[in-house]
Structure 1
Amino acid sequence: EQVGADIDLVRKGMGTDPRVGPQFLFAGIGYGGSCFPKDVSALLRSATDHGYDFQILKSVESVNKAQKVLIADKIRKHFGTRLRGRTITLWGLAFKPNTDDIREAPALTIIQELLNEGVTLQLHDPVAMPEMRKLFPSGKTVKYFEGNYDALKGSDALVIVTEWNEFRRPDFDRMKSLMAQPVIFDGRNIYDPVKLTERGFVYYGIGRNGQSTLG
């Protein structure tokens, strides 16, 4: 983003190397779940117990934590001093699609960061809402919606947190008509920045120079 590069083009270039491949090079807002975070922590503890300073895994853990805060930082930068009192929608709460598992999910960090800023949250996930309610009960500043479009009503911004298939091809005109402001923070780069900008959205992705250009 800082040098104006497009992460999708970088991924395609790196993926042509058969020693790397394209399968696991997608930009995003951090990993979660029951395995990766636990395994990294266990390996770091083992390294420490054996007197080894495992710098690579320390960096993995540090970068992952930073990625989870990245979207909140983009939201702060966009709204500036006008953030408090805003309504923001999150699509996706589970750490990955097709599960209700929210352990170490990026959504946990994003929700807490935004609540700390005085934001009202409208949340939707196809299956993970019951689990999230246990940690963030419904109330004045946290609201859950069974329909993804219902969660957009009056919203000042949409955050894509989990790349569920049903989020990939929404009715953008309907979305725009429901939102107070047509702003999208795409934490999984599932939308085309140019097409959204042409439709009148303000778009922020990951590794895409901050806003709306592909090149």
Structure 2
Amino acid sequence: YAPFFRTQNRMISMDVRSAEMTKYVANAMLATKISFMNEVANICELVGADVNKVRVGIGSDSRIGYSFIYPGSGYGGSCFPKDVKALKRSAQQHGYTPRLIDAVEKVNNDQKFVIANKLVGHFGEDLTGKTFAIWGLAFKPETDDMREAPAIYIIKELVKRGATVNAYDPKAMHEAKSFYLKDVENVTYFDSKYDTLKDADAMLLLTEWKEFRSPDFEELKIRLNQPIIFDGRNQYTALNMPEKGFTYYQIGKK
């Protein structure tokens, strides 16, 4: 145990069942915050509020804080989906219906299609002949992990509607090509984010990689067929995109 004490990491002693439950509950609690904020974002759009301002307001309350209250396209990865399902299953095995956990999972599943629905609202149900640039495939930045990534669901939905997809991710393209999207037609992978813009009718930002934070927006306008951005991570909300000449869609604000 010396290394743990040396780094002053907390060590809490408990029985095995409580330890297992602690792991499940910790991740389910964080997943709940994400789903709750995404639910709030969808309500904000309906009532004319700006979820980005709401986030700042509630985060300033020390009882809430700013962690895990960023709206987006839903959570993915190996931990949150798995542990939410495990906690739900454990409850069901003992005859209990975990209604809140059910809702967390359902909200997250629905949230993965919000950006696709916005795109369909703009371009119409039939996307035949349309091409879309996808920036980001991994479920979060700094990883190649695509497990339960929103990009999987969004790309499949666009292709199902007849679209062609140009995709780029700094680390996850091998995972996409070899497993997660290997059977999906009309998806082309590029070595540069700007190369995906060729013949594209819009750009969709789905993972908040650092290299996507400050792109050359003039380059985007030149390369895109139309200057349209669907921002699934609200990366550009503070930049006043309409003033830059873009039609801009985000989460939680019309």
TM range (shorter): over 0.9
Is the 1:138–1:144 contact (alpha carbons within 8 Å) kept by the matching residues of 2? no
Unaligned runs of 5+ in 1: 210-215
Instruction: Map 1:1-215 onto structure 2 (within 5 A).
Output: 1-81=45-125, 83-134=127-178, 135-137=180-182, 141-192=186-237, 195-209=240-254
CA RMSD of superposed structures (Å):
1.4
Q: Deviations over 1:94-126 (max 9, x none)?
A: 000000000010011001111110000000000
Q: Deviations over 1:101-158 (max 9, x none)?
A: 0001001100111111000000000010000002324986110000000011110010
- DSSP-derived class of the 1:51 partner: coil
Distance 1:153 1:172 in 2: 15
| CA spacing shift, 1:39–1:144, aligned 2, 3 Å | same
Distance 2:95 2:242 in 1: 52
Letter in 2 for 1:153: K
Quote the sequence identity (%): 52
| CA spacing shift, 1:5–1:96, aligned 2, 3 Å | same
| CA spacing shift, 1:55–1:138, aligned 2, 3 Å | closer
- DSSP-derived class of the 1:76 partner: helix
Q: Measure how far apart 1:167 and its partner are.
A: 0.2
Q: Measure how far apart 1:23 and its partner are.
A: 1.9
Is the 2:152–2:181 contact (alpha carbons within 8 Å) kept by the matching residues of 1? no
Q: Measure how far apart 1:82 and its partner are.
A: 5.4
Q: Measure how far apart 1:16 and its partner are.
A: 1.5
Q: Deviation above 6 Å: which 4+ runs of structure 1?
A: none
Is the 2:127–2:158 contact (alpha carbons within 8 Å) kept by the matching residues of 1? no
Q: Measure how far apart 1:72 and its partner are.
A: 0.8
| CA spacing shift, 1:108–1:81, aligned 2, 3 Å | closer
- DSSP-derived class of the 1:2 partner: helix
Q: Measure how far apart 1:20 and its partner are.
A: 0.7
Distance 1:194 1:165 in 2: 16
Is the 1:193–1:203 contact (alpha carbons within 8 Å) kept by the matching residues of 2? no
Distance 1:57 1:139 in 2: 31
Distance 2:101 2:73 in 1: 18
Unaligned runs of 5+ in 2: 1-44
So what's the TM-score if we normalise by structure 2? 0.79
Letter in 1 for 2:139: F
Q: Deviations over 1:46-94 (max 9, x none)?
A: 1101111111100000000000011111111000155222000110000
- DSSP-derived class of the 1:60 partner: helix
Distance 1:94 1:3 in 2: 32
Distance 1:195 1:102 in 2: 31
Q: Measure how far apart 1:195 and its partner are.
A: 2.3
Distance 2:183 2:153 in 1: 17
Distance 2:187 2:75 in 1: 23
Letter in 1 for 2:208: E
